[in-house]
Amino acid sequence: MKIKNSESLFKKSKDFIAGGVNSPVRAFKSVGGIPIFFKKARGCYLYDEDGNKYLDFVGSWGPMILGHSNKHIINAIKKQASKGISFGAPTKNELEIAKIIKSYFPSMEKIRMVSSGTEATMSCVRLARGFTNRKLIIKFTGCYHGHVDSLLVKAGSGVATLGIPGSPGIPEELSKLTLSLPYNSVSDIQEAFKIYKDQIAAVIIEPIAGNMGFIEPDKSFLNEVNSLCKTNQSILIFDEVMTGFRVSRGGAQELFDITPDLTALGKIVGGGLPVGVYGGRTEIMNYIAPDGPVYQAGTLSGNPIAVSAGTALLKQLKDKGLYKKLEDKGSQFLQELSGYAAGVGIPFSTNIRGGMFGYFFAEKLPKNFEDVQKSEIGMFTQFFKGMLSENIYLPPSAFESCFLSTEHSEEQLSKTAEIAHKVFKKIKNEI
């Protein structure tokens, strides 16, 4: 496969854009090679600058649950653009999307719109600290909550991909206020609350982790996190930027039947445009300016075009049956993959919820970040490269999740599994 145009664009971009990309994981650093530059996307396919066509399992990192270039979303964007692009003032559309969000996420009694997932989690943390008048934040190692100063401690996603433990530029005094604990460890969080109980402002968690690969919490762990927060009046923040409207319509909180105090959303909620949302208990949300003392604002927050795209997508998620269908066809696909891997003698495990899935080159599904690091990352890289050369576009990192859309057909998935079989055999021969 020729990627000469991508190569040349990447080379030139490096002279003008830091690292040649506008977000680190896109640079393909951990898997090697050249990032592909895309010019078009339709349904479940991506088209690059060299005329190659790829079956897409990234889906813009989540938002494309209905596939690329969904006609209702495009029409909504065009319609709104013809009326006005940005007013910097409230619109009726913001009320409409707020009502839909609340109907899907009842815990979000009141919301506030922002322009990215990072802004949503950052605002949750500030609000939790302001509301409780406490300083400490607990997060979990390998969870990624955007590039918020307080949350870039032992994070997943690009931070894990590049092997960065934290980030220069974040004062030690601030990092010290964030405790990072192992995911799925009940004893560690119990211990932390025993020591720091009335200093803990909030616990922030990906209620299904998607940024160290795809890792589910044990129900008992999540219940314990919830109950410790309640007992100690700490704010429980569910970061559902990735899982929201993805693992089920009402996110992981619906699957696990837990009501967090605050929730952060992103990705799907903007239909592919830059939108984030946070929200939760009225009493806490009333603490934000202008009604309350905690300041948070945004010039383009609730931007009419972004809101119209998000609304058009969310309306199409009305039928919850969509998630079962996604999970059924995804499970079938993963079963085929696992069967081929076992036949070849490659350690392989998979997991899926709704339209989000993960795979690891490990016999058993990892439970936390440490387990993921012990998986065969070298095999992951070989697999990624082998699949890419066969026009299958997977996330270029072992510390990310994969995304299915309603546009992926069973036939396409079965063909993908056959391609994977070929790649598994190649990996085995090269060991």
> Could you list the residues that contact ligand PLP (CB under 6 A)?
61, 116-118, 121, 144-146, 157, 206, 210-211, 239, 241-242, 266, 276
Instruction: Tokens 């401690």: give the residue.
Output: 153
- Please pick, among 188, 239, 261, 371, the residue that the annotation labels catalytic: 239
- Please pick, among 144, 278, 359, 393, the residue that the annotation labels catalytic: 144
CB of 156 to ligand PLP, least distance (A): 8
- Sheet of 53-56, strands arranged across: 38-42, 45-48, 53-56, 392-393
Nearer to ligand PLP, 43 or 146 (CB): 146
For residues 292 and 418, what is the distance between their CA atoms, to the nearest angstrom?
A: 57
For residues 262 and 253, what is the distance between their CA atoms, to the nearest angstrom?
A: 11
CB of 36 to ligand PLP, least distance (A): 19
CB of 426 to ligand PLP, least distance (A): 31
Annotated active-site residue 267? The verdict is yes
Nearer to ligand PLP, 142 or 210 (CB): 210
Q: What CA–CA distances, in Å, run from 376 to 239, 359, 399?
A: 28, 11, 12
Nearer to ligand PLP, 117 or 354 (CB): 117
CB of 382 to ligand PLP, least distance (A): 25
Nearer to ligand PLP, 379 or 402 (CB): 402
CB of 249 to ligand PLP, least distance (A): 17
Q: What CA–CA distances, in Å, run from 336 to 162, 241, 347, 386?
A: 31, 29, 14, 18
Annotated active-site residue 48? The verdict is no
Nearer to ligand PLP, 239 or 371 (CB): 239
Strand spans (E) along 215-335: 235-239, 262-265, 276-280
- Please pick, among 29, 139, 154, 267, the residue that the annotation labels catalytic: 267
* The two structure tokens encoding residue 161: 């991909």
For residues 57 and 404, what is the distance between their CA atoms, to the nearest angstrom?
A: 6
Q: What is the DSSP letter of 294?
A: B
Which residue in the shown chain puts its C-beta closest to ligand PLP?
117
- Please, is 85 exposed, middle or buried when counting C-beta atoms within 10 Å of its C-beta (0-12, 13-18, 19+)? exposed
Q: What is the DSSP letter of 37?
A: P
User: Which positions are catalytic?
Assistant: 144, 239, 267
